[in-house]
């Protein structure tokens, strides 16, 4: 139980990669705050699964890209649990379109959720982690933020921004024992990727040296490692979980 006694917050944890991250952290003993925005039922399912496996968790809804609501969210958690040891910024959306057709709303909504949401959470949890003189922050980026992807200028900008912000915050917090790293998943089989055309999936598969798509559990394993004491001397890094796609 690498994370026994730790309090972890996972944003966007009601489904997909976030769900598996929450389950993975709980399996190692962490008490997990399952954050969600729109689907309370799915979030409660994750909590139930964690408890069935002998762990403990709770679901809390919050739009973490809203600065004031995010502050209330973390103030409540800290007031009740007295600490936050692990923050995983996973909440993210896509609004794909070619640059010449992309609307302002499509651009703004993706940047707000994916990038501003991560900023808000790090901003509001950092003071507590500084008091604790320790903590783990793991930001979920994407291979798209490293290599780009047609039709995803907004998404790629947000995920590249996550990488830059990760490195900056890592430098700011390192002296207090707080590590800040990013995980960059490649093509992971989730609800979000399931809707893609078969031609897109095939073209992507041909670019992956390992010749398979990743699973949410692959990403969760990387996050659990970075959240553990085994990664205590790793900070400011981007760990690609992509089967070699971005080499």
User: Each residue of 113-171: pLDDT tens digit?
Assistant: 999 999 999 999 999 999 999 999 999 999 999 999 899 999 999 999 999 999 999 99
Q: What is the CATH number of the domain that holds 106?
A: 3.40.50.720
Number of domains within the chain = 1
Residues paired with residue 87 on neighbouring β-strands, in sequence order = 9, 137
Predicted confidence (pLDDT) per residue in 11-65, tens digit: 999 999 999 999 999 999 999 999 999 899 999 999 999 999 999 999 999 999 9
Which run of H or of E encompasses 23? Answer: helix 16-27
Beta bridge partners of 136: 86, 179
Q: Is residue 244 part of a domain?
A: no
Tell me the per-residue pLDDT of 157-211, one tens digit each, with 9 for 90 and over. 999 999 999 999 999 999 999 999 999 999 998 876 777 778 878 888 899 999 9
What is the rounded CA–CA span in Å between residue 91 and residue 242? Answer: 19
Q: Is the pLDDT of residue 100 over 80?
A: yes
Q: How far apart are CA 240 and CA 222, in angstroms?
A: 9
In this structure, what is the dihedral angle of CA atoms 35, 155, 159, 75, given to the nearest 10 degrees?
-30
Instruction: Evaluate whether 163 touches 238 at the Cβ level (below 8 Å).
Output: yes
- The range of the structural domain enclosing residue 177 comes to 7-234
DSSP state of 3: T
Q: Is 114 helix (H, G, I), strand (E, B) or coil?
A: helix
Within-domain flag for 90: yes
Q: Which residues are catalytic?
A: 155
Domain annotation covers residue 210: yes
């Amino acid at each position: 139980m690498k994370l026994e006694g730790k309090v972890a917050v996972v944003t966007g944890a009601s489904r997909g990669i976030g769900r598996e991250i929450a389950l993975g952290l709980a399996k190692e003993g962490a008490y997990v705050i399952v954050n969600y925005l729109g689907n309370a039922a799915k979030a409660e399912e994750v909590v139930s699964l964690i408890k069935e496996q002998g762990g403990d968790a709770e679901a809390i809804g919050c739009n973490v890209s809203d600065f004031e609501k995010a502050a209330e969210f973390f103030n409540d958690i800290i007031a009740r649990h007295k600490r936050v040891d692990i923050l995983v910024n996973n909440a993210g959306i896509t609004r794909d379109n070619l640059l010449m057709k992309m609307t302002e709303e499509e651009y703004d909504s993706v940047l707000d959720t994916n990038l501003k949401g991560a900023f808000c959470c790090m901003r509001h949890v950092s003071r507590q982690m500084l008091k604790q003189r320790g903590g783990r922050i793991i930001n979920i980026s994407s291979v798209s933020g490293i290599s780009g992807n047609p039709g995803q200028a907004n998404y790629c900008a947000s995920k590249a921004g996550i990488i830059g912000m990760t490195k900056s915050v890592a430098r700011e917090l390192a002296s207090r024992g707080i590590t800040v790293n990013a995980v960059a998943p490649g093509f992971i089989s989730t609800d979000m990727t399931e809707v893609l055309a078969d031609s897109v999936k095939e073209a992507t598969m041909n670019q992956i040296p390992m010749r398979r798509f990743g699973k949410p559990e692959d990403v969760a394993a990387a996050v659990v490692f970075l959240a553990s004491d085994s990664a205590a001397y790793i900070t400011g890094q981007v760990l690609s979980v992509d089967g070699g796609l971005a080499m």
